[in-house]
Amino acid sequence: MSLVDDCRLVTLERFESPLGSLSPLYGGVHVPFAIKRVYYLYDVPGGAERGGHAHLALQQLIVAATGSFAVTLDDGRSRRSITLNRSYYGLYVPRLIWREITDFCTGAVCLVFASLAYDEGDYIRNYQDFLAKVRSPAAAEDLK
């Protein structure tokens, strides 16, 4: 299993010029996985809450490509909230972390680099199911 402390901010390289900025991102270099899929959230209305779920196997890096939003991370024991508001920061989220994304500003784009293709079977969408999973004896054993 994973801990909230295993989630970390990754600072990407920045190429700045008077014509704008550019940040490259490589799987296996900036994130500890090969990037299998990219998706993004956009046109998110004010007050919306996205991403109330955890994944059994998927790892991800979340980037505020434009604007800002808050990511709340929960490992079943502790919670931490991080505001993403710079395009050159990525938030690495390992497997088995419950995450919620809120407080989207108008026009925010949440870009997600994922280790796996979309698979509904990899989702845990019920918080009680998530707690049961991460608080199981097998999960505790995994932490030792």
Structure tokens at 10: 């990754």
Catalytic residue among 36, 53, 86, 95: 53
CA 98, chain centre distance (Å): 9
What is the Cα–Cα distance from 20 to 45, expressed in whole angstroms?
27
Provide, rounded to whole angstroms, the least separation between the CB of residue 94 and ligand TYD: 17
- Asked if 39 interacts with ligand TYD (CB under 6 A), we say yes
Angle at 36 between CA 73 and CA 81, to 5 degrees: 10
Half-sphere exposure of residue 36: CA atoms within 13 angstroms, side-chain side: 12
- Asked if 95 interacts with ligand TYD (CB under 6 A), we say no
Number of residues this chain uses to bind ligand TYD (CB under 6 A): 7
What is the Cα–Cα distance from 94 to 81, expressed in whole angstroms?
15
CA 138, chain centre distance (Å): 24
Provide, rounded to whole angstroms, the least separation between the CB of residue 143 and ligand TYD: 26
Q: Which residue in 1, 7, 51, 74 binds ligand TYD (CB under 6 A)?
A: 51
- Asked if 118 interacts with ligand TYD (CB under 6 A), we say yes
Options 1-9, 14-22, 35-43, 84-92: segment touching ligand TYD (CB under 6 A): 35-43
Options 4-12, 36-44, 62-70, 87-95: segment touching ligand TYD (CB under 6 A): 36-44
55 has catalytic annotation: no
Q: Cβ-closest residue to ligand TYD? A: 118
Q: What is the DSSP string of 78-133?
A: -EEEEEE--TTEEEEE-SS-EEEEE-PPTT-EEEEEESS---GGGEE--HHHHHHH
Q: Which residues bind ligand TYD (CB under 6 A)?
A: 37, 39, 41, 50-51, 53, 118
Q: Which residues are catalytic?
A: 53
